[in-house]
Structure 1
Amino acid sequence: MTADTPRRTALAQRLAGLSPAQRAELERRLADRAPTAARGRPARIPPRTTGAGPLPLSWSQEHMWHRHRADPSGAAYSVPLKVRLEGDLRVDVLRAAFRDLIARHEILRTTFGESGGVPYQLVHDAPGAEVEHADLRDAEDAEAEVAARLAEEAARPYDLAEGPLFRAVLLRTADDVHVLSLVLHHILTDEQSTGLLLAQFVEAYDRRLHGLPAAAAPRLQYADYAVWQRAGQGDGAAAERLRRCVRRLSGMPAELSLPADRPRPPRPTGRGGAVGAGIGPDLWHRLRALARQERATEVMVLLAVFQTLLRQVSGQHDITVSLPEAGRDHPDLEDMLGCFFNTVAVRCDLSGTPGFRTLLGQVRARCLEAYDDRDVPFAKVVEAVTDRRAEHRHPLLQTMLIFEREGAGRPVEFAGLRMTPLQAPTGHRGARAKRDLTLAAVDQGDTARVDLVYDADLFDPATAQGLLDGYLALLSSLLADPDALTGPGRR
């Protein structure tokens, strides 16, 4: 298993699902995009010329730094990763493998300080993190003990200045069964990086077990990217792309009037919950068929329905939803560990009661515009659109739509072990609330699953369930009659 296998598999699955029209549109879009060198940036990202620090943060890291500073005791931006390891596990080899990974990647031994209100990062020589090990074979209820320990690890706050920001705990529940918990602050990682980290752990363990030397350090480290990104944001093309993003969001409502059960607290805590449901094969097939007919994608259809729901429950017609973006357009970044995620904002006007097919066309156009400028750091957009950082709520956008394809939960066999990722028991991403509402959809092949992750400071479970039920009812009715009016009004 190589480090880029999950990424290439997911990409192949996504491309295989495109219709000929969608492929043609993708090829046109790629052809229209200016190559990296044409934007005044080097074809390859150069290694930094400075040492270990202090070094600038990437824009994604700075966003995380500000959100952490707003609530330093919270764990909304902890990224937990849990796997079960079955077989003859060598604890000494596992610990050595993680030491190799930490030595290989500077980002895993980085902390963050500030000077005059400006954050910086420091790369340390010492590992900073060791794998804790606990034997629970004699526990009265090992499974309950594991669940409690994992919840405790995910909830532990971070000190960005002191670290470590990468924690690993190994729990033995039987002679041949262990549970490995990895928890990283989001300022170090993103979703693709967690998959890369697991894949590289497999490789490092196998090397150690067979007496092979550790894999060589990569040509570039994450701090090299942060320095390069900061330098590249000063050119004229980057400034124009930022201006386009700002124009698209200028004048948007300061807040979406969602049907909350409680007033918004002074600062978000990240405390969340999740409700979920399945989308059956018939409905999922109809969704895909409509997407093909309208030269759209599944996420565009899901987004159009979500915006319809938000219009109905808020009574507002100017609806903007955020979508996550991997932020790895440059080939030098494909296999690098770090925080690359970005956010794009899709704003639509639902005034005048448009038919759903018409709305879908608008959503498609707005999505393509947003993705043309997807490398513009969202933190810069927030700063340009708002007068100040709103620490009492999520910055600029309160809702998000996430779309993924299943595949990350499959077991992996290596070195006499079977590794199985463990899904969060409370729903998508452990139900940490990074927005007021996040609709997370997972393509499971012939079916799909949707989870509505909600801010528990604002919403009761029954309210969230009602919103999810309303979304599924809209999805079913609008797919049955795509020319039906989307309808105004508050539900």
Structure 2
Amino acid sequence: MPRRPVLGELLGIPAPAPDSEFFDLGGNSLIALQVINRVEERFGIRHRLLDLYEYPAIEDFARFVHSSAGLPTAAPASPEPRSTGPSARPELVPGDELVMSFGQQRMWFHHQIDPATTLYNQPTVSRLDGHLDVEAVRGMWHDLAMRHETLRSNFVAVDGAPALHIRPDPGDFFTFADVSDAPDPHAAARELVAQAARRRFDVANDPLLRVLLIRIAPERHVLQFTTHHAVNDGGAPRILSRELPELYAARREGRAPRLPELPIQYRDYAIWQRRLLAGSALDHELAYWRKTLRDAPRLDLPTDHPRPTRKTYTGHMLPFTVEEPVVERLRKLAADESVTLFVVLLSAFNLLLSRLSGQRDLIVGTPTSGRNHPLLQDLLGYFNSTVALRCAVPPQTALGDFLRQTRATVLEAMDHQEIPFDRVVSAVGARREAGRDPLIDVSFVHQELPRYELADSRYSAFFDEERSTINRFEGMPVGTAKLDLTLITTVREYRADVTAGLEYSTELFTADTAAGFISAYQELLRALAYEHDAGRPIAALLDTPAPGTEGRR
């Protein structure tokens, strides 16, 4: 029964009370998905994510699950999982076959077209204060790569087709630089970090994990690691925050790490993904997307420059902060309307896009975790997919209803996230246009990031955030933009504000225009936080154009 043992384990709470509510205990959509997966494992029934929102109290959800399974609500026994019939999923098991995932193949093809691309560079940089054992740091990353074999991947051409090669060791991946005696150690470190973030990957020959450790003072260091997106994704911070401290401590103490053995590796997932897609288990997902995205509109935003016929993916990031008092009020609004902060921030973005374009039917992309199977939860690799959220913005809808409508859109999409986005594009017959991606022109990325802690060394502030604003964003390549606009919002467990940024295509927009978009978004967030009653229609929030957009096309 999905009572306290499972929920307590996922939430990190030993014994949550039966009448406590999932979201009050720190639950979010990612953990909710894990709950749904565990329930399916045990009972053979796939529930909707929305069910957990409709029955947020632990005891109520447990009763609902038992009722839907046709079991007594107080039944203590664990029923045998039931087969879901001819569309049952293949088993995810370890194997020896070297197979690339569909996402890795797509990135490999892009590299063949544009070998110099840095679009898939994922740099992360932070400052560490306190004593740091350099050799233990190197060993920590080495052991991580030996544990997660995908970090030792290369993608090579065999008879013109992509093939996976696994290195026996991480290779020459680690660089240590001591600039503490430089005239300006901070400036010297800034330059090294910028060079490392922009250095392209040769996916056939280079280590796809690079680590740079810089000493700027005896007890102050800058740690930067850059991965290729083909071996890493947005789910990594949660895994790294658990494993890196233990791997570091083990190196310091000369012992084996106390981490559970990984039952599978990423290539096992790649094989499983192919088997899953070869069967009929995801046919219902394709049917959902065909229906949802039928006659989907393209977003028609006002631009400063004509859309080019060929994208170069050049872009820039403008950072901003949603201050703590505003975030506190937005969290209250979310709780009052039984939605998450993610939904509130996305809804405000939808209002902005609708205001800018005049459209009331929008497509906004958002990444998914892709870790639907329990065996994938602790595995590094590229699991992310994209879902196209078709968001309605009807002006006469009350704010509270609009938020819940957005919540339903998100949860339905997450319930149908396993089918790769490329398959969705083909299935819906999306018209391809020169200079733009199919279906999606803008995206919303929301991250919840843990703190990194190593023994005797404390994670401190962002490094050089005033001069190198891109350092605020984990895993964002420098000087690029995959889409027209991408709004990134980041909640960090050690900060009460929200770190945010707008990545924009410099082929379409000027910096002043992007700054105007941010100003308008901040204005909308303040209106939601302080002014707009949940029972009032959202029409008033759509009336005012964003600063600087009047008359542009």
- TM-score (norm: length of structure 1): 0.84
* 1:99 partner amino acid: H
Instruction: Summarize the alignment of residues 137-286 of structure 1 with structure 2, pairs less than 5 Å apart.
Output: 137-197=180-240, 199-213=242-256, 218-253=262-297, 255-265=298-308, 266-281=310-325, 283-286=326-329
Once the two structures are TM-superposed, the CA of residue 340 in structure 1 deviates from its matched residue by 1.3
Change (3 A) 1:28 1:292: farther
Deviates more, 1:210-219 or 1:102-111: 210-219
Question: Partners in 1 of 2:102 and 2:83 — Cα distance?
Answer: 21
Once the two structures are TM-superposed, the CA of residue 226 in structure 1 deviates from its matched residue by 0.9
Once the two structures are TM-superposed, the CA of residue 70 in structure 1 deviates from its matched residue by 5.4
Q: CA offsets, 1:338-363, max 9 Å, x none? A: 11112222112336654444433432
Question: Partners in 2 of 1:17 and 1:28 — Cα distance?
Answer: 18
Find 1:106's aligned residue among 146, 149, 165. 149
Change (3 A) 1:368 1:84: closer
Question: Partners in 1 of 2:538 and 2:126 — Cα distance?
Answer: 46
The equivalent residue for 1:442 is 490
Question: Partners in 2 of 1:28 and 1:316 — Cα distance?
Answer: 41
Decide whether the 8 Å contact of 1:111 with 1:164 is kept in 2: yes
Once the two structures are TM-superposed, the CA of residue 21 in structure 1 deviates from its matched residue by 8.7
Decide whether the 8 Å contact of 2:369 with 2:383 is kept in 1: yes
* 1:22 partner amino acid: Y
1:484 matches 2:524: no
Structure with greater contact order relative to length (CA < 8 Å, sep ≥ 6): 1
* 1:104 partner amino acid: R
Find 2:458's aligned residue among 418, 431, 447. 418
The equivalent residue for 2:330 is 287
The equivalent residue for 1:40 is 88
Q: CA offsets, 1:180-233, max 9 Å, x none? A: 221001111012224423543332222222221356862211111111111111
Provide the identity percentage.
32
Change (3 A) 1:463 1:99: same
1:305 matches 2:315: no
Change (3 A) 1:359 1:8: closer
Once the two structures are TM-superposed, the CA of residue 378 in structure 1 deviates from its matched residue by 1.9
Once the two structures are TM-superposed, the CA of residue 280 in structure 1 deviates from its matched residue by 4.8
1:24 matches 2:64: no
Decide whether the 8 Å contact of 2:315 with 2:503 is kept in 1: no
Once the two structures are TM-superposed, the CA of residue 14 in structure 1 deviates from its matched residue by 5.3
Question: Partners in 2 of 1:82 and 1:396 — Cα distance?
Answer: 33
Question: Partners in 1 of 2:459 and 2:330 — Cα distance?
Answer: 34
Q: CA offsets, 1:438-468, max 9 Å, x none? A: 2223346765444322223322221111112
Deviates more, 1:419-428 or 1:378-387: 419-428
* 2:453 partner amino acid: V
Decide whether the 8 Å contact of 2:431 with 2:438 is kept in 1: no
Query: Which SS does the other structure have where 1:412 is aligned?
Result: coil
Question: Partners in 2 of 1:285 and 1:110 — Cα distance?
Answer: 43
1:467 matches 2:517: yes
Count residues in correspondence: 475
Instruction: Summarize the alignment of residues 37-76 of structure 1 with structure 2, pairs less than 5 Å apart.
Output: 38=84, 39-42=87-90, 45-50=92-97, 53=98, 55=99, 57-69=100-112, 71-76=114-119
Question: Partners in 1 of 2:11 and 2:103 — Cα distance?
Answer: 24
Once the two structures are TM-superposed, the CA of residue 234 in structure 1 deviates from its matched residue by 2.2
Change (3 A) 1:36 1:114: farther
Deviates more, 1:419-428 or 1:455-464: 419-428
Decide whether the 8 Å contact of 1:94 with 1:205 is kept in 2: yes
The equivalent residue for 1:454 is 504
Question: Partners in 2 of 1:111 and 1:389 — Cα distance?
Answer: 31
Question: Partners in 2 of 1:379 and 1:200 — Cα distance?
Answer: 33
Question: Partners in 2 of 1:216 and 1:346 — Cα distance?
Answer: 37
Decide whether the 8 Å contact of 1:70 with 1:267 is kept in 2: no
Query: Which SS does the other structure have where 1:183 is aligned?
Result: strand
* 2:229 partner amino acid: H
Decide whether the 8 Å contact of 2:124 with 2:225 is kept in 1: yes
Deviates more, 1:332-341 or 1:87-96: 87-96
* 1:249 partner amino acid: L
* 1:412 partner amino acid: E
Change (3 A) 1:67 1:271: farther
Deviates more, 1:18-27 or 1:225-234: 18-27
Once the two structures are TM-superposed, the CA of residue 395 in structure 1 deviates from its matched residue by 4.1
* 1:47 partner amino acid: P
Question: Partners in 2 of 1:7 and 1:272 — Cα distance?
Answer: 37
Change (3 A) 1:30 1:435: farther
Decide whether the 8 Å contact of 1:268 with 1:394 is kept in 2: no
Query: Which SS does the other structure have where 1:396 is aligned?
Result: coil
Deviates more, 1:422-431 or 1:191-200: 422-431
Decide whether the 8 Å contact of 1:272 with 1:457 is kept in 2: no
The equivalent residue for 1:317 is 360
Once the two structures are TM-superposed, the CA of residue 319 in structure 1 deviates from its matched residue by 0.4
Decide whether the 8 Å contact of 2:395 with 2:537 is kept in 1: no
Decide whether the 8 Å contact of 2:248 with 2:454 is kept in 1: no
Deviates more, 1:318-327 or 1:106-115: 106-115
Decide whether the 8 Å contact of 1:321 with 1:397 is kept in 2: yes
Q: CA RMSD for the aligned pairs?
A: 3.6
Once the two structures are TM-superposed, the CA of residue 107 in structure 1 deviates from its matched residue by 0.6
Question: Partners in 1 of 2:63 and 2:511 — Cα distance?
Answer: 42
Deviates more, 1:149-158 or 1:110-119: 110-119
Decide whether the 8 Å contact of 1:275 with 1:465 is kept in 2: no
Instruction: Summarize the alignment of residues 355-394 of structure 1 with structure 2, pairs less than 5 Å apart.
Output: 355-386=398-429, 392-394=435-437
Query: Which SS does the other structure have where 1:16 is aligned?
Result: coil
